[in-house]
């Protein structure tokens, strides 16, 4: 951890390194005669990380080689199979260099086809440090940098795998606290901040919220556990099938079917599925959120989320880049008085959504508190929302009833055309009250509001959500109207933004109300088009 | 709730349509496209009934005729009425669709790119399209089927106006 970094030979004279323990020189090097920003290499210990990862990837291939190789005479080529991943790792180490200059961070890759990825420092939106268990063992971290390009060019994603933990943290400071760092910031390595991996955020940070183990009770209420359980069951089914694991033969099956009552199966299967789902949800919650800490730096400019049981991640978000918040209020969570919170951040593409999570499923008061802290304004989280009126309510009911009537109608058709008894239609009718209840709640949830700085929209029951979007972050409006909406005099007003999901919608809002809302939220934009 | 004093009309403001229509050649192009698509369906239906791929009931033919005629004759008319655009000093405004309708408004200060596009057919007809993008992936404004000189002028206009704006438009 303490071994000094070695600048690459072609770098010219090494840059000035400030004295240990002292702040770096504050006098900027005016017109430096030599290259002041040396190219740096990844940590040599990454050589251990990559072969291990590559070996895992190559594992089936390697097994093949050795199994086949045993039978043959010449087995020298077995070693090529082992050598390739190691060679790839060495190649990557030798060909990857990076540097941070005053204005940008540059990453150079490739042996023959050299490729330089450049990101301007003032476009850096977020920095994420990730340490897999192997990384943690070696005291390393992978650093990923989110820039303003919005992840449109995925191949130019900026990632350094890996740096020593302390250096990665320093680099993060250099990238995000630019105003704090002296103009001629140099990456100082080693002693000054020899935090080890288990250390939390540095002393100056203010911890806003930490994981409360009791929050685990909310995990089964999210859908993730069921998804995992379903996936595993499917996988097991396939595996058993593939392996010809005929646990029960046909004759046994017949015996079982007559022995066990059908009702028992109908009860047991879903029950075991639910239990399995809950277990996996809890495990998943703990694995990804263990040690969750949300903190803020002393000046309130950068927020940092740490979490992870096996692979730890540290995500830093600049407050300035946060355009708003998404409060997840899925039905299950809402009934338990819980919610989850993520940030709407520019420069993070939709598929990196996990890195914007601020609070895992937690009591809604915690979520509201953190939201208020982040926005420096409590009103958007509390605001009583304006409802969308009778036409929107009618539309909720027609849509819910149309959906809910599919099952009874199907049952009716079946009972008329097949020997299915007529009373089988009765249980199918139960979808109707469910539909009605959903419609009522969906209408209650539908709403919008405006505070001094934020636009708030809320919708949905099963996947309910409340989106808070900075009014100055709205960079356009889409007013959508389907044929049915036009007949009802409703529109879907979509605020477009450069952050998060890129679009946040107020659904089924009366046309006049939509125009008034858009006009009020972004004054002046609509003025030339109003009549 | 606004920062500005509400205007008298703001009691019940309505969004008017954008000022300009697209090129008068547009309906012809849309009709031609619709005709080609209808024809493909017709060929499939005919082949299906000749080679017995799937049963084509008798009532399918008049239904097809009605739908195809509506699609080829009525759709371009409606679309021509709906497709409109406008560009002011401060914003770009478009309206598109035929069964459903979508209006998009983007402030000039948030415009990131202005793309001019002309397909082979469009070049032959002297048409062009202009796409205005903002930093949001959800917000490109497409002004299709406008006359080439109009498109040229629009691009010049937009480029000049957006150049005047500073900042990274996010």
> Distance between CA A520 and CA A513 in Å, rounded?
10
B22/chain A closest Cα distance in angstroms = 18
pTM for the model stands at 0.77
A512 touches chain B (CB under 8 A): yes
Question: Given an 8 Å threshold on Cβ–Cβ distance, is B13 in contact with A515?
Answer: yes
CA angle A198, A199, A202 (to 5 degrees): 155
Shortest CA distance from A483: residue in chain B: B100
Among residues A287, A292, A279, A286, which one has the least CA distance to residue A310? A287
d(CA A457, CA A485): 19
pLDDT, residue A108, reads 84
| Angstroms from A502 CA to nearest CA on chain B | 5
Q: Which residues of B touch A524 (CB under 8 A)?
A: 4, 90
Nearby residues of A248 by Cβ (< 8 Å), 6 or more positions away? A256
Q: Is the peptide bond before A318 cis (omega within 30 degrees of 0)?
A: no
Q: Is the CB of B2 less than 8 angstroms away from the CB of A511?
A: no
Distance CA A4, CA B7 (A): 67
- Asked if residues A304 and A205 have their Cβ atoms less than 8 Å apart, the reply is yes
If one compares B49 and A189, the residue with the highest pLDDT of the two is B49
The β-bridge relationship of strands A447-450 and A454-459 is antiparallel
Q: Which of A450, A475, A481 is facing B136, going by the closest CB pair?
A: A475
pLDDT of residue A280: 86
Instruction: Please list every residue in chain B whose beta carbon sits closer than 8 Å to the beta carbon of residue A450.
Output: 1
Q: Do you know the residue count of chain B?
A: 170
The DSSP secondary-structure symbol of A160 reads: E
In this prediction, residue A418 carries a pLDDT of 82
- And the tokens for A13? 């004279």
Q: In this complex, do B12 and A498 lie within 8 Å of one another by their Cβ atoms? A: no
pLDDT of residue B81: 95
Do B169 and A475 count as a contact with CB atoms less than 8 A apart?
yes
B100 touches chain A (CB under 8 A): yes
pLDDT attached to residue A41: 85
Instruction: Give the Cα separation of A195 and A207 in Å (integer).
Output: 17
Residue in A356, A349, A322 with CA at minimum distance from that of residue A152: A349
In the prediction, which pLDDT does A48 show? 79
Q: Which residues of A touch B161 (CB under 8 A)?
A: none
Q: Contact B138/A512, CB-based, under 8 Å?
A: no
Q: What is the pLDDT of residue A433?
A: 92
Question: Which residues in chain A land under pLDDT 50?
Answer: 1-33, 150-155, 179-202, 248
pLDDT at residue A507, as a whole number:
95
> H or E segment at A276?
helix A262-289
Q: How far apart are CA B153 and CA B87, in angstroms?
A: 11
Residues of A in contact with B138 (CB under 8 A): 478, 494, 496, 501-503
Q: Cβ-count burial of A52 within 10 angstroms (0-12 exposed, 13-18 middle, 19+ buried)?
A: middle
Return the axis-axis angle of helices A390-404 and A431-445, rounded to nearest 10°: 150
Give the model confidence (pLDDT) of B66-113 as tens digits. 999 999 999 999 999 999 999 999 999 999 999 999 999 999 998 988
The label of the residue with tokens 């079982």 reads: A256
Which residue, A149, A185, A187, A158, is CA-closest to A27?
A185
Establish if A351 touches chain B: CB-CB under 8 angstroms.
Answer: no
CB contact under 8 A, B18 and A482: no
Q: What is the pLDDT of residues A338-355, one digit of tens each?
A: 999 999 988 665 556 666
pLDDT of residue A47: 78
A259/B contact by beta carbon, under 8 A: no
Residue A101 burial (CB count, 10 A) = 14
Interior/surface letters B90-107, b for 16+ CB within 10 angstroms, e for the rest = ebbbbbbbbeebbbbbbb
Are residues A530 and B103, on separate chains, in Cβ contact within 8 Å? no
CA of A499 to nearest chain B CA: how many angstroms apart? 7
Where would I find the beta strands (DSSP E) of A157-290? 158-164, 206-210
Alpha-carbon distance A18 to A21, whole Å?
8
Nearest CB among B16, B99, B107 relative to A531 is that of B16
Residue ranges with strand state E in A238-337: 293-296, 302-307, 312-318, 322-330
pLDDT grade, residue B42 (50/70/90)?
very high
């Amino acid at each position: 951890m303490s071994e000094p970094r070695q600048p690459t030979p072609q770098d010219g004279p090494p840059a000035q390194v400030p004295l240990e323990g002292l702040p770096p020189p504050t006098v900027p090097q005016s017109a430096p005669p030599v290259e002041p920003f040396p190219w740096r290499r990844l940590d040599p210990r990454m050589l251990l990380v990559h072969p291990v990862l590559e070996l895992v990837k190559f594992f089936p291939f390697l097994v093949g080689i050795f199994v086949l190789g045993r039978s043959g005479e010449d087995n020298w080529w077995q070693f090529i199979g082992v050598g390739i991943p190691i060679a790839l790792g060495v190649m990557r180490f030798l060909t990857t260099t990076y540097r941070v200059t005053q204005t940008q961070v540059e990453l150079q890759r490739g042996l023959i086809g050299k490729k330089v990825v450049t990101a301007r420092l003032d476009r850096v939106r977020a920095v994420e440090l990730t340490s897999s268990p192997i990384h943690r063992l070696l005291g390393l971290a992978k650093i990923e940098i989110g820039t303003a390009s919005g992840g449109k060019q995925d191949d130019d994603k900026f990632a350094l795998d890996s740096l020593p933990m302390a250096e990665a943290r320093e680099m993060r400071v250099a990238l995000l606290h630019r105003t704090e760092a002296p103009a001629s910031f140099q990456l100082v390595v080693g002693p000054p901040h020899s935090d080890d991996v288990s250390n939390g955020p540095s002393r100056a940070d203010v911890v806003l919220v930490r994981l409360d183990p009791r929050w685990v009770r909310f995990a089964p209420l999210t859908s993730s556990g069921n998804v995992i359980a379903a996936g595993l069951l499917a996988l097991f089914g396939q595996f058993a099938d593939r392996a010809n694991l005929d646990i029960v033969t046909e004759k046994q099956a017949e015996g079982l079917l007559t022995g066990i009552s059908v009702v028992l199966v109908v009860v047991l299967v879903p029950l075991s599925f639910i239990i399995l789902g809950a277990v996996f949800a809890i495990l998943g919650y703990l694995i990804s959120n263990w040690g969750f800490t949300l903190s803020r730096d002393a000046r309130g400019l950068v927020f940092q989320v740490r979490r992870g049981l096996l692979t730890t991640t540290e995500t830093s978000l600049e407050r300035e880049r946060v355009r708003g918040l998404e409060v997840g209020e899925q039905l299950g969570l809402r009934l338990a008085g819980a919610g989850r919170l993520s940030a709407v951040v520019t420069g993070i593409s939709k598929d990196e959504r996990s890195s914007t999570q601020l609070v895992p499923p937690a009591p809604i008061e915690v979520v509201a508190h953190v939201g208020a802290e982040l926005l420096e304004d409590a009103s958007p989280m509390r605001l009583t929302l304006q409802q969308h009126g009778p036409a929107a309510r009618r539309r909720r009911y027609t849509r819910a009833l149309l959906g809910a009537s599919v099952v009874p109608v199907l049952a009716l058709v079946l009972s008329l055309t097949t020997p299915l008894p007529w009373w089988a239609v009765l249980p199918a009718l139960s979808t109707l009250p469910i539909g009605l209840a959903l419609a009522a709640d969906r209408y209650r949830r539908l709403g919008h509001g405006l505070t001094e700085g934020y636009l708030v929209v809320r919708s949905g029951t099963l996947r309910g959500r409340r989106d808070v979007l900075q009014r100055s972050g709205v960079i356009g409006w889409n007013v959508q109207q389907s044929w049915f909406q036009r007949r009802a005099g409703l529109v879907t007003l979509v605020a477009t933004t450069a952050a998060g999901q890129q679009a946040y919608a107020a659904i089924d809002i009366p046309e006049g109300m939509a125009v008034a809302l858009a006009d009020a939220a972004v004054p002046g934009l609509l003025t030339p088009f109003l009549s | 709730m606004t920062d500005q004093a509400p205007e008298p009309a703001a009691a019940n403001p309505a969004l008017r349509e954008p000022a300009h229509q697209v090129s008068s050649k547009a309906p012809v192009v849309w009709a031609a496209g619709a005709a080609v698509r209808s024809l493909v369906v017709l060929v499939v239906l005919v082949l299906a009934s000749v080679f017995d791929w799937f049963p084509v009931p008798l009532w399918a033919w008049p239904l097809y005729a009605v739908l195809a005629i509506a699609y080829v004759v009525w759709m371009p008319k409606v679309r021509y009425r709906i497709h409109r655009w406008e560009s002011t000093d401060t914003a770009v405004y478009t309206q598109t669709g035929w069964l459903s309708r979508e209006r998009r408004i983007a402030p000039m200060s948030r415009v990131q790119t202005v793309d001019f596009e002309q397909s082979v057919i469009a070049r032959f007809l002297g048409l062009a399209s202009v796409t205005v993008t903002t930093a949001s992936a959800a917000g490109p404004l497409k002004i299709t089927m406008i006359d080439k000189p109009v498109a040229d002028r629009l691009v010049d206009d937009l480029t000049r106006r957006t150049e005047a704006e500073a900042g990274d438009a996010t």
